[in-house]
């Protein structure tokens, strides 16, 4: 399956379970793979036959920098719903939401959730 990939999108948001996360905020990274048939757009060279990745970025940005959620799982679900609602050519998507600096003790590079969703038929 063909895909459009948006890697390493960086945002500052207020999502988190702990009050300090909601007050102080933190960095988040989002990676998105948008699965759709790109053969028509590859032949037509027409934007209406594909997904505008600038528009997709804006939808992700609005959610990441918008109303706080407790869980990044909920953030990922909201992104998927927004993408399906706004891009009728989207067949499925894989999203990874990463918190590089969560307020938990220990040594690690980051924590993340990854979801794969398909359009309801």
Catalytic positions: 99
Residue 6 neighbours by CB under 8 Å, 6+ apart: 30, 31, 32, 34, 53, 56, 57, 60
Which H/E stretch holds residue 67? none
Q: Provide, for the chain, the percentages of residues in helix, strand and coil under a 3-state DSSP scheme, each rounded to the nearest 5.
A: 35, 30, 35
Residue 43 neighbours by CB under 8 Å, 6+ apart: none
């Amino acid at each position: 399956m063909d895909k459009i990939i948006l890697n390493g999108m960086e945002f500052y948001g207020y999502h988190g379970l702990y009050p300090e996360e909601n007050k102080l905020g933190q960095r988040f990274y989002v990676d998105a793979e948008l699965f759709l048939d790109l053969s028509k757009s590859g032949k037509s060279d027409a934007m209406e036959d594909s997904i505008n990745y600038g528009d997709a970025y804006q939808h992700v940005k609005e959610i990441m920098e918008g109303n706080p959620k407790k869980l990044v799982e909920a953030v990922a679900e909201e992104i998927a719903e927004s993408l399906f609602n706004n891009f009728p050519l989207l067949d499925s998507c894989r999203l990874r939401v990463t918190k590089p600096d969560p307020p938990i003790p220990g040594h690690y590079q980051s924590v993340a959730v990854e979801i794969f969703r398909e359009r309801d038929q």
